[in-house]
Structure 1
Amino acid sequence: MGPVPAPDIHPITDPTDERLADYVSLTDVALRSRHEPSKGLYIAESSTVLRRALGAGHRPRSVLLSPRWLPDLVTTLASLPDDGTTVPVYVAEPDVLAAITGFHVHRGALASMHRPALASVHDLLAAARGGTGARRVAILEDIVDHTNVGAIFRSAAGLGVDAVLVTPRCADPLYRRSVRVSMGTVFQVPWTRLETWPGGLEDLRAAGFTVAALALADDAVSLDDLVAAPRERLALMLGTEGDGLSRGAVEAADLVVRIPMAGGVDSLNVAAASAVAFWATRT
């Protein structure tokens, strides 16, 4: 395919312009959590994140930016294949951008992206490692802090986790803050959402996974012990920020694992715990 056609540039002076509906009130988490998935979109913030999204094959619906970022944006969009369509580029001064989004936009372009369809658990696991199948996955149960979700994805990418599965009530990995904290690695690590919980664990067992719950329990084994007796296919299950994994999740696991701690500290933040567990079990 040839290069993408020249951007379709539209100067914006009115923050109520109806063409900008995708970008309104980006700081309202509850609103965006309902609005974005239902409309099949997500917001990519910064030119770096946009480049990574494009590199993963995602397609912009439109772009919104201040004039100073326009030259960089033109270069970024040049990586798009030509499918015969143009991407609307809305250009507005910083005060107009702030009125639209609810915050000072200082990271370059904002892009409204088409949200890709999620794969089934079976297909996601089967496609990993070049089609040889996933060997190590993470499961996020009801983690509601988007910063933690993004940080976990960044650790998963850096430490070789094959896939991430999120429960029905877990925060959206494609929410703007999750994407930003992950540095765009949410586009790098394959992920999907489980349809039922904890019933969805049966799909993992059918694929030969041992499910290990990271939790504090009397019968928990040390992470060191898990590493000493590695499983061929391992799913590491991480729980919500306050209470950790639910009782149902722990009871559904094949074993419970704890991270050895010192100094009278009983546990780590879930993002830190994930990095420790991913590093210790890396293959």
Structure 2
Amino acid sequence: MPYIEVDNLDDPRLDAYARLTEAQLRNRLEPEKGIFIAESIKVIERALAGGMQPVSVLMTPEWLESAASTVDAIEKAAPEEGGIPIFVAPENELKKLTGFALTRGILCAMRRPVLPSVEELLDRVDEERQRKAQACGIPDDGRRRVAVLEGIVDHTNVGAIFRSAAALGVDAVLVTPTCCDPLYRRAVRVSMGTVFQVPWTRIGESVRDWPAAGLARLEALGYKTAALALSDDSIALGDEGLAACEKLALIFGTEGDGLSRKTIEGCNYTVRIPMMHGVDSLNVAAASAVTFWELCR
């Protein structure tokens, strides 16, 4: 498909990139029309591999050659016959976009996926683990590890947690109603596209759905729940009983305040990471990486 040259970002066809807020992109009233923005070749390619549907592309002339194979893959994944618009704008114009210097020359607007229910998602996790075990000729050991993000509002932390989850073998991520959107532009960028590799969904749509109702859903699915929190009755991360749990949901709290009291009281375990030199806690992204390394091996 021929490229569409635009002189500046005032073109209304570029609203998704230049003017719409993240809330408008998400389109809560009509979720099927919601979109998100993927930045850089690697992130876009991971999004395509994860089945995301492209809507349009915005790039600079300097990247036409190096991004040619990625653009070709985007056009092949386009749901409409005849491809999608590929806009080309001067680099000095794209630099007006916040964070464009980190995008490496190409942006892609993509359709937001329809999220499955928690039950559907964890059923898929079971099927995938069983399939992989069968392919390897070994029995499925039944071990499942999911991460639950309660009220984490920093998009950088959410992106970093997804990247650790992908790298260290977490089966799925569940985000509570008060957690920020994993498809927010910065979260996607920081995750390096791993948000499209790790299965995830929301556990509830409103604050009434968490923690009591959400913890009950996990229990019904056979999961033990572990709250990562500082508490007098907490157990150490290396506890053998914790590691022996077949299905375990690891719950991480918001920056600063951590998990709510109701969440901690409703969990089967309260878990702490042993510290030295008087340090009381780690940043939630760092804490998640340590926890995944210990319990997801």
Q: TM-score, normalised by structure 2?
A: 0.86
2:286 equivalent in structure 1: 272
Whole-Å Cα distance in 2 between the matches of residues 224 and 171 of structure 1?
30
Whole-Å Cα distance in 2 between the matches of residues 102 and 12 of structure 1?
19
1:145 equivalent in structure 2: 154
- In structure 2, give the amino acid aligned to 1:197: W
- Do residues 96 (structure 1) and 93 (structure 2) align? yes
Structure 1 residues 279 and 96: alpha-carbon distance in aligned structure 2, compared to 1, 3 A threshold: same
Size of the aligned set, in residue pairs, is 271
Task: Determine helix, strand or coil for the equivalent of 1:224.
Answer: coil
1:206 equivalent in structure 2: 220
Q: Output aligned runs, 1:67-78, within 5 Å.
A: 67-78=61-72
Whole-Å Cα distance in 2 between the matches of residues 203 and 228 of structure 1?
20
Whole-Å Cα distance in 2 between the matches of residues 212 and 8 of structure 1?
53
Contact 1:40 1:114 in 2 (8 A): yes
Whole-Å Cα distance in 1 between the matches of residues 240 and 93 of structure 2?
54
- In structure 2, give the amino acid aligned to 1:9: Y
Question: 1:226: how far off?
Answer: 4.7
Give a deviation string over 1:45-91, Cα, whole Å, max 9, x none. 11111111111111111010110112233311323347524111110
Contact 1:227 1:281 in 2 (8 A): no
- Do residues 37 (structure 1) and 26 (structure 2) align? yes
1:217 equivalent in structure 2: 231
- Do residues 282 (structure 1) and 279 (structure 2) align? no
Whole-Å Cα distance in 2 between the matches of residues 178 and 213 of structure 1?
23
Structure 1 residues 257 and 47: alpha-carbon distance in aligned structure 2, compared to 1, 3 A threshold: same
- Do residues 122 (structure 1) and 116 (structure 2) align? no
Contact 1:128 1:163 in 2 (8 A): yes
Structure 1 residues 156 and 127: alpha-carbon distance in aligned structure 2, compared to 1, 3 A threshold: same
Question: 1:112: how far off?
Answer: 0.6
Q: Output aligned runs, 1:167-206, within 5 Å.
A: 167-195=176-204, 196-198=209-211, 199-206=213-220
Task: Determine helix, strand or coil for the equivalent of 1:111.
Answer: strand
- Do residues 15 (structure 1) and 1 (structure 2) align? no
Question: 1:96: how far off?
Answer: 1.7
211-220 or 67-76, larger mean C-alpha shift: 67-76
Find the partner of 1:53 among 42, 47, 57. 47
Question: 1:241: how far off?
Answer: 0.9
Find the partner of 1:261 among 272, 275, 283. 275
Structure 1 residues 229 and 13: alpha-carbon distance in aligned structure 2, compared to 1, 3 A threshold: closer
Task: Determine helix, strand or coil for the equivalent of 2:66.
Answer: helix
Structure 1 residues 146 and 92: alpha-carbon distance in aligned structure 2, compared to 1, 3 A threshold: same
Whole-Å Cα distance in 2 between the matches of residues 154 and 227 of structure 1?
27
- In structure 1, give the amino acid aligned to 2:115: L
68-77 or 266-275, larger mean C-alpha shift: 68-77
Structure 1 residues 173 and 228: alpha-carbon distance in aligned structure 2, compared to 1, 3 A threshold: closer
Task: Determine helix, strand or coil for the equivalent of 2:226.
Answer: strand
Whole-Å Cα distance in 2 between the matches of residues 37 and 134 of structure 1?
34
Question: 1:191: how far off?
Answer: 0.2
Whole-Å Cα distance in 2 between the matches of residues 47 and 68 of structure 1?
14
What residue ranges of structure 2 are gaps of 5+ in the alignment?
28-32, 131-141
Question: 1:174: how far off?
Answer: 0.9
Question: 1:102: how far off?
Answer: 3.8
Give a deviation string over 1:201-235, Cα, whole Å, max 9, x none. 21111110000000001111111115665101000
Contact 1:139 1:235 in 2 (8 A): yes
Percentage of pairs with the same residue: 53
Contact 2:164 2:292 in 1 (8 A): yes
